[in-house]
Amino acid sequence: MRRASVRGSGFAWAPALASALPLALALACAPAAAQARDGDSDWLSYRDAYRQMIWFEKYGKPKQFLQNHYRIRLRDRSASTEGLRLTLSSKAGQQHLALDALGRAVFPFSKAAFDDNAELTVNRKAGQYSAGSWVSIVSRQDGVYDSADLRSACDQLLAFLRYSNAGDTGGKRCTGVQFAYARSDTDAGASFRKGDQAPQPLGFKEGPVFIGDEGASFRLYAFRFALWPDPGQVITRSIPLAIAALIE
């Protein structure tokens, strides 16, 4: 069976290094374009989404720093994410799936929905969005990340991307991670602390969190391994929206 490509280079941590966001990344095939339904909404097969998402669940290599979501992404840059809603519709009724600021949702694994051939619908006209599984790194509630764990998280994500044949990873390596916040987040901030020394702030820039998300702008704090080679900790002032792996 050919592995589908996984899109995404995020990285996240849940408290106690457990999976923070409930979703299982699965095989992550390239985000599928939604199909038209009555000309005024997009819909996707729940079974197709399930088959994508289950790949991550079955992945047997280390992944304790990784998480997977079902993500809705803009295809049409003129479209808006304001009021965007993802709904699971089955014989049992409708379930609205909350989307975060990056369009990620917790995927509901349901045998009943699979058997019902349920649908995932987006409240937008067809062709404006695509969807698929998305791997990222889990955020810690306490905001303290050991630099060794950040390296391991990036390595785990790169290993999964290679396993799933996602994109061009040949010859590339993990060079760091970046913590993403909303541009308007006044509590945003990250620093590096070595032992008992005073924390040193990480520089920030504005831009997209993930590759391929050009047009979206967030406040990004990059932790590059080559610039901070000593063991230590990255301290964040608040929980980031996402942590992306820098694979270059």
Residue-wise pLDDT tens digits, 2-43: 344 344 544 333 332 222 222 222 223 334 444 444 445 568
Q: Quick check: is 3 in a domain? A: no
Could you report the per-residue pLDDT of 146-188, keeping only the tens digit for each?
999 999 999 999 999 999 876 678 889 999 999 999 999 989 9
Contact 243, 10 (CB under 8 A): yes
Q: Quick check: is 54 in a domain? A: yes
Residue 62 sits in the same domain as residue 132: yes
Q: Which residue has the higher pLDDT, 186 or 106?
A: 106
Using the predicted structure, report yes or no on whether residue 190 has a pLDDT greater than 80.
yes
Q: Of the ranges 42-46, 102-106, 173-177, 222-226, which one carries the lowest mean pLDDT score? A: 42-46
Residue 14 sits in the same domain as residue 90: yes
Q: Which domain, by its residues, includes 204?
A: 144-247
Strands, E, within 20-115: which ranges? 32-33, 35-37, 41-45, 66-74, 86-90, 93-97, 104-105
Percent of all residues in the chain with a pLDDT value above 70, rounded to a whole number = 82
Q: Quick check: is 243 in a domain? A: yes
Question: What distance in Å separates the CA atoms of residue 34 and residue 129, rounded to the nearest whole number?
Answer: 7
- What is the residue whose two structure tokens read 């000309």? 39
- What is the residue whose two structure tokens read 């079974």? 47
Question: What distance in Å separates the CA atoms of residue 245 and residue 225, rounded to the nearest whole number?
Answer: 11
| CA-based nearest residue to 33, from 133, 167, 126, 164 | 126
Question: What distance in Å separates the CA atoms of residue 211 and residue 213, rounded to the nearest whole number?
Answer: 6
End-of-domain residue from the set 76, 106, 137:
137
Could you report the per-residue pLDDT of 51-60, keeping only the tens digit for each?
999 999 999 9
Q: Quick check: is 88 in a domain? A: yes
Amino acid at residue number 165: N
pLDDT at position 28 is 34
Residue 18 sits in the same domain as residue 119: yes
End-of-domain residue from the set 115, 137, 159:
137
| CA-based nearest residue to 180, from 52, 51, 9 | 9
Q: Quick check: is 2 in a domain? A: no
Residue 86 sits in the same domain as residue 174: no
End-of-domain residue from the set 137, 164, 193:
137
pLDDT at position 158 is 96
pLDDT at position 167 is 67
Question: What distance in Å separates the CA atoms of residue 10 and residue 1, rounded to the nearest whole number?
Answer: 26
N-to-C CA span, the chain: 28
Residue 211 sits in the same domain as residue 167: yes
The overall pTM is greater than 0.85: no
Question: What distance in Å separates the CA atoms of residue 65 and residue 136, rounded to the nearest whole number?
Answer: 9
Task: Please count the structural domains in the chain.
Answer: 2
- The token pair at 113 is 């929905």
| CA-based nearest residue to 51, from 109, 120, 129 | 109
Residue 159 sits in the same domain as residue 133: no
User: What is the arithmetic mean of pLDDT over 108-129?
Assistant: 91
